[in-house]
Structure 1
């Protein structure tokens, strides 16, 4: 596992970014739809069996879809690692999606943009006056840092593209398996938006940022703030809004809340020790509020739970819209979905993102990767894998996805193991990708 200092450096790296300007998309269509050959299906089965045999992961699930249907789904391991009495993982197992939640929340935001409730240039201070006072820290890890007012207001666009300056790495350095305080705070009854925004100040007189809005890409709390915007505009919780306008439309049981039943199917959170062995989480660090605690702040950046086949169903739904299919209950307009795969960062700042992805996917040679409003995008074909224009990202606890509109393929894989950037989950998903693209037939 890489040292914390390296992870902080790369995750805190700032990338200059474009202001909102969507390029015109062309119709993509997919002609013949690929399927997995018998050899490909067997190779995926072998990958799952070998991963179980290696005993290097707790419960995990792998699933693949084309634009029409799910092509493959399989599971291995146990809900609790090392416990022979534990339930085995199945394709109905539930996973904490962590940062894969961002796609879901961004869809809700883009729906409201389509409806004219606000636009990309709308200042966030329109919804929350706290954003009228935002300060740039000169030393993000120093609680006594000097600071200055930001040069421009944070907008919806800045939140979507992670160019708001809101950062996970403000305050004293933490272990790389510790989440930020605004996520792990145990919100009491009566606390909500105002308390979350207060915590974003990190003790400073205004909401604290690591870069001037619109000038740099900084991974952090932006999407969770977007979730608060959804709640403010709609008068509903993000959970209520998403259930009505996303999850029920697509026909999935994904949720920002665990219930007794879904919690019983949740793969336990585990910890990878420095020697590669696996332990239970053992409350070594706080995590977000969840069942049986009452969730008082819906965390749109990290707070969703789902089976991976259900998440794959959402990806397939987007592929169908992008391909121009007549999609029942389409959650976004086709043009909006096509723009999800358009890079929004300037090309001269992608080296830092490539360095970040070297940690996330160390065995893939990303060339000039970029970022859209929802996820990372490839700008070059990857040898033996996804083509240019594919979206992808991963989650803190070991979940991954790829969505490829050119080929019409989506893939999800996940376990539940921290610290992030787990090398074994990266190895398995990378091998699964190679198998899929080597065994497509038309």
Structure 2
């Protein structure tokens, strides 16, 4: 990845349009956390084409423990001027995304997605992506969580019921203030509503080009968590918080649009499911490849708790029109709205990697003109496993083993990334292998 010429002038013009005197500039790590520096406009522009950042981000785990040998130092980064957005927590401020442009470029999550976007671009196609997040709001501060040792968590809106109009009315001020915060950060919402269970909300973001959609998703979580902390609460995007809380998803909807004609490549309303042959090949690619690259969708131990029996999360590699139990849900209300919805990720997904997984596997199916041989599932619920559908990995370690051994993963994302990311996922699994829950002690101590 090289640094584009003329970037300084482009950034200066964009910052002037936003009237931004301060810029929060950073990179997204493997957890989707924005690691930033706060700079004045003059300082940012002065080193726009020679910028550096610590090279540690791809080499530590979610607990910021170093996992790989050095040397550690500064490495060249490049700014993406198209990523610039307003920053809602400070007057006359903006946020700007960078990516590694030196030795670590092949393993940078944003670059992994950029390579898949480039594949679509070479075909004259634009990937349009929308994301949807469920999240839990807790009546807990950073201090109360630690005082309680992260146990006995108290939810905000404990009386909430799924899609409850009463909860929506009672907490309308919280919801509208959060929406205002997100809007001030250039997050374009389709909806923001209460969802399933105590403290549970759901936000649907409007569709954007794939890279912008991934950035929006990551900033949505950042802004939501910061907004809640500012009100003495905590927003959780963990896939499963524990007993009494629902599993929460981070779904990805995707369509491909022909750049020359503006036509939705996925739509064919003469078909029984409303899908074109290209859409079926794209879907077949997802079904064929996602089981081998599942750590790109679930990279935490907790992500696999959501797939346990009794949850609404899909547990198989499957598809169906409008079936919430399917891994890929087909929606074709109109030609413009025809899309594939990947329902496998939890809300703790890395947006850049999960979108890269969906786009990369689908484009592979399109390139190979794969036939959609698996029939749509016709059943499925919290405790149902549709007959004949392949079961998903049950834990991070088994998922990572398949990922490391996958020739297709190396073909699509490059061997350096596969080896590096697999090592990180294995370390993440090992970090919790000796962790014993209170439920385990209760079950086994006196048995």
TM-score, length basis structure 2: 0.23
| Higher relative contact order, structure no. (Cα contacts within 8 Å, ≥ 6 residues apart) | 1
Whose strand proportion is higher, 1 or 2?
2
